[in-house]
């Protein structure tokens, strides 16, 4: 995890512009480099480094003697760089996984490069010999990327929007900063003036398609067929493989543990594999919640079962409320459920950074979207519509859960790893018949739970624990986190302000005092940029006015059972 930033064709002095690059310094606390491009005095790269692999040669932009005309700035991890080296005979000059991008590009161009990378990535690749700039982002947007391109060809690219919004330029940049779409690459011509012109934006991978890099995966071809035993076995094999490949790190590995199915499965498989490869330190797991909250109690049970070194962060109401503005600034969104769920994750990440030496943090993001874990999936009209909704949620992850997970951890210089969003695992799961993937017997994620039932990885009561939204599970059963927030905000927002909300904020107008409060803070930092969020996250097929799981009829807390 790191922060990347680049400008092409700047009219302003670069020493002034580079102040914007410092807005993402949190993403790379270990080192910073600012480098001009030879022959293009108005083009430059900025890089904030979190050293996770190759402590010696990991600075960027990456340049190697074999390709002196290529400049690479990337944020991410390429898990198959050694397999690609073996398959194509690449001669690496560093131990940096991202160096493979240069070799792949030289061998087969940008299309093959983006398609063959098994990992998470956002990159800027400059080819001065052919006067091209390339941008690319992984399938689910696990690594963030924003860009601004003016009519006169000034290009700015950054890991977070905050590194672009204050750039100086002769023409207005106001409405042009936008997220770069996941699963796409863009080709731009670099003119002698340093300005650029977009040539094409190409979608190189869809979540349902088996990725091209399967040809050099460590797991060979899987048994075919949709009989239940085969499917269960394939799910276990591919998920374990997804966790194994993400063990690539020279820094200490930890794991977020809410005590729900997803994070518990990640932690259990992670610990098992760490033992297998003789990692000689205990796995640290981290839970956050109010005293005796459902998440804390469940996480404690999982940690005891798997034998991790468990840490609990007690969330107090005042601390959570005080963090709201910092969280919204980090997130760059005003989405209600994203902000609620981010407060706990932001505070637990802060604890990890201050109190431990864990840097590479595993988490369970992506499972709810992939395996139909949200409670409203019980109301899906048909298996086919549930499958379509699952794909929609996966395509929009970069606006919601993946955004939350990246920004809350990156704000504290941590690197996030999300095995549920492994390309091969997700494409296999989505290839299964729609009726296999729906909730069954009143239980969401039924197939995933069934696949691991005989593994003894988790206690049965955890494996079959009902869904809790992260923002609800950290609170006590009696009073959920969202209602605590609403009680506080009710005192902060006047009724009259809410009545006139649609006039003040015509795009995505706030409907509640809570959403009005978040929007005010967002506009304070990112005025006029409400289009970054196309719509609020809300459950489907139910008449929901609030995204919290606890407002849905299907929800039943342990205390009510």
Residue ranges at the known binding site for L-glutamine? 97
Q: What secondary structure does DSSP assign to 444-471, as a single string? A: TTHHHHHHTTTS-SS-HHHHTPPP--HH
The residue whose two tokens read 């109010």 is: 290
Cis ω for the linkage preceding 61 (within 30 of 0): yes
Residue with tokens 């480094």: 49
Helix (H, G, I), strand (E, B) or coil at 422: coil
DSSP 185: E
Distance of CA 397 to the CA centre of its chain: 8
Residues 209 and 224 sit within 8 Å (Cβ to Cβ): no
Structure-token match 């991890």, residue found: 77
For residues 265 and 239, the answer to whether their CB atoms sit within 8 Å is yes
Q: Which residues contact 442 (CB under 8 A, 6 or more apart)?
A: 378
Query: For the residues of 112-152, what is the DSSP string, one character each?
Result: HHHHH--EEEEEEEEETTTTEEEEEE-TT-SS--EEEE-TT
Q: Which of 2, 43, 44, 207 is catalytic?
A: 2
The beta strands (E) that lie in 349-414 are given as: 358-362
Q: How far apart are the C-alpha atoms of 313 and 322, rounded to whole Å?
A: 16
> Considering only CA atoms, which of 130, 114, 76, 115 is closest in space to residue 98?
76
The Cα 383–Cα 446 span in angstroms is 13
- The residues with which 157 forms a beta bridge, in sequence order, are 6, 147
Q: Is 452:268 a contact under the CB 8 Å cutoff? A: no
Is the separation of the CB atoms in 550 and 480 below 8 Å? yes
Pairing state between β 132-137 and 358-362: unpaired
CA 51 to chain centre: 19
> How many CB atoms lie under 10 A from the CB of residue 134?
20
Contact 539, 374 (CB under 8 A): yes
CB contact burial 146-176 (16+ within 10 A = b; e otherwise): bbbbbeebbbbbbbbbbbbbebebeeebeeb
Tell me the three state secondary structure of residue 63.
strand
HSE-up (13 A, CA, CB side) for residue 86: 8
Binding residue numbers for ATP? 256, 288, 363-364
Q: Does the annotation mark 44 as catalytic?
A: no
Contact 250, 58 (CB under 8 A): no
Which has the closest alpha carbon to 44: 22, 73, 64?
A: 73
Rounded CA-CA distance 545/538 in Å is 8
Catalytic residues: 2
């Amino acid at each position: 995890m790191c922060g990347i930033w680049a400008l092409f064709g700047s009219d302003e002095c670069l020493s002034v512009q580079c102040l914007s690059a410092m807005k993402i310094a949190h993403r790379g606390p270990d080192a910073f480099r600012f480098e001009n491009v030879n022959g293009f005095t108005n083009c430059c790269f900025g890089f904030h480094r979190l050293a996770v692999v190759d402590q010696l040669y990991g600075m960027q932009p990456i340049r190697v003697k074999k390709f002196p005309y290529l400049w690479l700035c990337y944020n991410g991890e390429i898990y198959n760089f050694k397999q690609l080296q073996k398959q194509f005979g690449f001669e690496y000059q560093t131990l940096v996984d991202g160096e493979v991008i240069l070799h792949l590009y030289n061998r087969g161009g940008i299309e093959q490069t983006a398609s063959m990378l098994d990992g998470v990535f956002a990159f800027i690749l400059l080819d001065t010999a052919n006067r091209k700039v390339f941008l690319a982002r992984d399938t689910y947007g696990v690594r963030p990327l924003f860009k601004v391109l003016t009519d006169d060809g000034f290009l700015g690219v950054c890991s977070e929007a905050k590194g672009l919004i204050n750039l100086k330029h002769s023409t207005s940049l106001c409405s042009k900063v936008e997220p770069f779409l996941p699963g796409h690459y863009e080709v731009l011509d670099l003119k002698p003036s340093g300005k650029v012109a977009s040539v094409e934006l190409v979608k190189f991978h869809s979540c349902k398609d088996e990725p091209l890099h399967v040809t050099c995966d460590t797991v060979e071809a899987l048994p075919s067929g949709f009989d239940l035993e085969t499917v269960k076995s394939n799910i276990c094999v591919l998920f374990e493989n997804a966790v194994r490949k993400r063990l690539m790190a020279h820094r200490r590995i930890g794991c977020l543990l809410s005590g729900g199915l997803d994070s518990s499965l990640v932690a259990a498989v992670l610990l098992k594999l760490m033992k297998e490869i003789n990692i000689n330190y205990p796995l640290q797991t981290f839970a956050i919640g109010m005293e005796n909250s459902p998440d804390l109690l469940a996480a404690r049970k999982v940690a005891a079962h798997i034998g991790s070194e468990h840490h609990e962060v007690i969330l107090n109401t005042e601390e959570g409320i005080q963090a709201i503005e910092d969280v919204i600034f980090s997130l760059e969104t005003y989405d209600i459920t994203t902000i609620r769920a981010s407060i706990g994750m932001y505070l637990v990440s802060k604890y990890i950074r201050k109190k431990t030496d864990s840097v590479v943090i595993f988490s369970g993001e992506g499972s709810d979207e992939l395996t139909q874990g949200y409670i409203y999936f019980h109301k899906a009209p048909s298996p086919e519509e549930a499958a379509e909704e699952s794909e929609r949620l996966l395509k929009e992850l970069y606006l919601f859960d993946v955004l939350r997970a990246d920004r809350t951890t990156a704000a504290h210089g941590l690197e996030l790893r999300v095995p549920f969003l492994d390309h091969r695992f997700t494409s296999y799961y989505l290839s299964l018949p729609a009726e296999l993937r729906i909730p069954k017997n009143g239980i969401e994620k039924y197939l995933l739970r069934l696949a691991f039932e005989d593994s003894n990885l988790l206690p049965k009561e955890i494996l079959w624990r009902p869904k809790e939204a992260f923002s609800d599970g950290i609170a006590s059963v009696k009073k959920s986190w969202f209602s605590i927030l609403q009680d506080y905000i009710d005192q902060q927002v006047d009724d009259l302000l809410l009545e006139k909300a649609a006039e003040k904020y015509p795009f995505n107008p706030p409907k509640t005092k809570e959403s009005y409060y978040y929007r005010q803070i967002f506009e304070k930092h990112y005025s006029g940029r409400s289009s970054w969020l196309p719509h609020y996250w809300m459950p489907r097929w139910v008449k929901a006015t609030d995204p919290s799981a606890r407002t849905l009829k299907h929800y039943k807390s342990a205390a009510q059972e």
